[in-house]
Amino acid sequence: MSPETATLVAVVAVALVFAYTNGFHDAANSIATSISTRALTPRVAVVMAAVMNMVGAFLGEGVARTIGSQIIAPPTGTHGLLVLLAALIGAIVWNVFTWYRGIPSSASHALVGGMIGAGLVSATTVDWGGVVTSFALPMLLSPLIGGVLGYLVMLAILWTFRDAAPRGVGRRFKLAQSVSAAAMALGNGLQDAQKTMGVVVLALVTTGYQSDYDVPTWTVVAAALAMSLGTASGGWRIMRTLGHRVIQLDPPKGFAAEATVSAITYATSFVWQVPISSTHTITSAIIGVGATRRLSAVRWGVAGDIVLMWLLTLPGAALVAVAAYLLLDLALL
């Protein structure tokens, strides 16, 4: 096996590790609300999320093409593979760090931050126009839309059921949450599995194994399996933060947040084909839903800590990727 082929195999393997960490990190996004409201038991929720993540991975390729072609220019040869390897290491380290701290952060931000950091330190061309239009704007707008839409959906629920008995409403929305949680898990697989696919395709283009950004079937299967296995392992630390520490959720609020994120995820995946952070979007949707009760119902200190971690994710993952690239490059000298 040539050094370039061995490095390509390493990149694919590390990309699947990233997908696994993405699964246990972002599993909390799709099931924290339904577990905290007791609409689903933890075991049922985790199995459901793992299955729907896998199904979602097979439903599109648009986000994968965006990640593969619009963040950095395809580097060449073994050097290019080191860039991708360093980017993935930066994203994985950040995912594990934030998971250990129990703080929701964006695996998408971490991956793009890693790609930018590794690209800059290696003198690889960063497509800043693509970064702005295909990453920065969607990542900025999706939480804002999530918060506003979550607020409006919850207002509509409160108005529609204003005269209904609270206990009966709670029972109905527990059932509705089974559907909304599954829809959100499907969207999570649709978005996040494609990010791993995009990096693998970029590695294949880098080494000349393919000339376009079409996603091979084996890549879809591998990314889906890795992410589903990660989801099945759970993300209990982050679930506690999203499910209890931001606001106190009940079934109507959980449904409103999940329905909001599902709508945004499907629109960005199928219509605009751009990556978003499901973590950012569900957190902002939960805050918007909670604000319909009263602003003091939101624990703003916890929300502030989450926002701070959002801001640190891209530069943090970029710095880790820079260090990883320098070490890898030094090892090959």
pLDDT at position 74 = 86
Question: For residue 333, what pLDDT band results from cuts at 50, 70 and 90?
Answer: low
pLDDT (average), residues 79-97: 95
Provide the whole-model pTM: 0.92
Least confident interval from 26-30, 53-57, 90-94, 112-116: 26-30
Lowest mean pLDDT, pick from 44-48, 212-216, 236-240, 326-330: 236-240
Q: What's residue 242's pLDDT?
A: 56
Least confident of 127-136, 246-255, 266-275, 312-321: 246-255
pLDDT-wise least confident of 22-26, 165-169, 204-208, 278-282: 22-26
Asked whether the beta carbons of 261 and 278 are under 8 A apart, the reply is: yes
Measured CA to CA in angstroms, residue 298 lies from 18, 250, 258 at distances of 32, 14, 17
C-alpha to C-alpha distance for 79 and 135, rounded to whole angstroms = 25
Q: pLDDT, tens digit, for every residue of 21-30?
A: 998 877 666 7
**Which residue range(s) make up the domain with 157?**
3-332
- pLDDT for 315 equals 96
pLDDT tops 90 at residue 16: yes
* Mean pLDDT, residues 179-198 taken together: 92
- Mean pLDDT over 303-319 rounds to 88
Angle, alpha carbons 164-290-137 (nearest 5°): 125
Is the model's pLDDT at 243 over the cut of 60?
no
Structurally, the chain folds into a number of domains equal to 1
Least trusted range by pLDDT, from 1-5, 199-203, 211-215: 1-5
Residue given tokens 């409201």 in the structure block: 37
Band of pLDDT at residue 264, cut at 50, 70 and 90: very high
